[in-house]
Amino acid sequence: MAYVNIEVRTEAGKVGIVQLNRPKQLNALNNELMDELGAALKAFDADAAIGCMIVTGSEKAFAAGADIGAMASYSFADVYKGDYITRNWETIRSIRKPVIAAVSGFALGGGCELAMMCDFIIAADNAKFGQPEIKLGIIPGAGGTQRLPRAVGKSKAMDMALTARMMDAAEAERSGLVSRVVAPDKLMDEALAAALTICEFSQIAVMAAKESINRSFESSLSDGVMFERRMFHATFATTDQKEGMDAFVNKRKAQFRHQ
Ligand code: DAK
């Protein structure tokens, strides 16, 4: 697929990087961009050499939301039938390897929702998160009302969605929305270092940990703990478990083969 709205590259042959690339529109997200993003992430997910992915934007904007110009004339029938804004937004949820959001500048509306669909968010100290859809006469539509309260709690989520207040990086870190905050010029270094760390580990264990944590949002505590237990048991069927524990016992660095 030839990409127009994103740039795609790999680092160290192991990390797949997708950079949103509509700078004049502050990376406003349209169907074409979301199609390309989904295709690029799926291709990395299917590539055995890739252990982790990073989604990022520009210094000014991760993404300022769905493309308002494109959406402005949609009817209820257009959006409800799903041919327009709904059709390709959830592809990222089917990605099984980790996806890190490296966020600088604005992450608003669908941009904030996209960042929250990633597995964790590393933010530059100039990042601003918000769900300002209320100003447009709509509500968040790509998971904002569901993922934001899970991340920052009801009070802050209500505050953001009802008043359109933006949250800066420091507040986002305090509130648990982002895992780390760094200077803007260190953002990609930090995200890449985290991605390379993940790539060193057993891909099977990494995928199982991701799947288990995501399960916690979908299940009761008992069901989630049982799911985790079975996944834990399953890791003992891998050669990576033998390698990891043997390496520890023999005081050497583990060489995981993702088997
Ligand atoms: N869409 C289209 N263009 C946008 C845009 C957007 N969301 N955000 C910014 N731009 C464009 C501006 O129109 C402007 O274009 P020109 O006038 O230069 O042609 C250019 O980017 C620069 O923007 P500004 O001149 O406004 O720059 P400022 O620094 O003054 O302000 C800002 C930056 C980010 C505060 C401001 O641009 C802004 O408020 N933007 C809109 C933010 C917003 O309301 N976002 C939420 C959109 S609604 C769903 C999936 C997704 C969604 C819903 C459903 N399903 C799967 C069902 C998502 C909905 C949304 O995201």
Q: What is the CATH number of the domain that holds 238?
A: 1.10.12.10
Annotation says 82 is catalytic: no
Any ligand 1 atom below 6 A from CB of 142: yes
* Residue 225 in domain: yes
Annotation says 66 is catalytic: yes
Q: What is the CATH number of the domain that holds 186?
A: 3.90.226.10
- Do residues 35 and 109 both lie within one domain? yes
* Integer Rg of the chain from CA: 19
Token match 């406003």: residue? 28
- Amino acid occupying residue 198: I
- Do residues 222 and 245 both lie within one domain? yes
Q: Which two tokens stand for residue 26?
A: 């502050």
* Residue 180 in domain: yes
Q: What is the DSSP string of 36-50?
A: HHHHHHHHHHH-TT-
- Do residues 78 and 157 both lie within one domain? yes
Q: What is the mean pLDDT of each run of 10 residues along the chain (259 residues)?
A: 95 98 96 95 98 98 96 91 80 96 98 98 98 98 97 98 98 98 98 98 98 97 98 98 98 97
Number of CB atoms found within 10 A of residue 37's CB = 23
Q: How far apart are CA 224 and CA 216, in angstroms?
A: 5
Q: How many angstroms separate the alpha carbon of residue 133 from the centre of ligand 1?
A: 10
Q: What is the DSSP string of 131-171?
A: -GGGGGT----SSHHHHHHHHH-HHHHHHHHHH---EEHHH
- Do residues 166 and 52 both lie within one domain? yes
Final residue before a domain boundary, out of 182, 199, 216: 199
- Do residues 135 and 209 both lie within one domain? no
Residue of 211, 130, 143, 221 whose CA lies nearest to 172: 130
Residue of 74, 66, 48, 90 whose CA lies nearest to 207: 48
Any ligand 1 atom below 6 A from CB of 40: no
Q: How far apart are CA 140 and CA 85, in angstroms?
A: 12
Q: What is the pLDDT of residue 85?
A: 78
- Do residues 71 and 176 both lie within one domain? yes
Annotation says 59 is catalytic: no
Q: How far is CA 201 from the centre of its chain?
A: 19
Strand order, beta sheet including 61-63: 61-63, 106-108, 128-130, 167-168
Q: How many angstroms separate the alpha carbon of residue 214 from the centre of ligand 1?
A: 29
Q: What is the pTM of this model?
A: 0.97
Overall domain count for the chain? 2
- The distance between the two most distant Cα atoms of the chain, rounded to a whole number of Å, is 65
- Do residues 26 and 133 both lie within one domain? yes
| Angle between helices 221-235 and 203-215 in degrees, nearest 10 | 170
Annotation says 90 is catalytic: no
- Do residues 101 and 208 both lie within one domain? no
Number of CB atoms found within 10 A of residue 171's CB = 16
- Do residues 82 and 118 both lie within one domain? yes
Any ligand 1 atom below 6 A from CB of 27: no
Structural domain containing residue 245? 202-249
User: Catalytic pick from 110, 111, 143, 144?
Assistant: 110
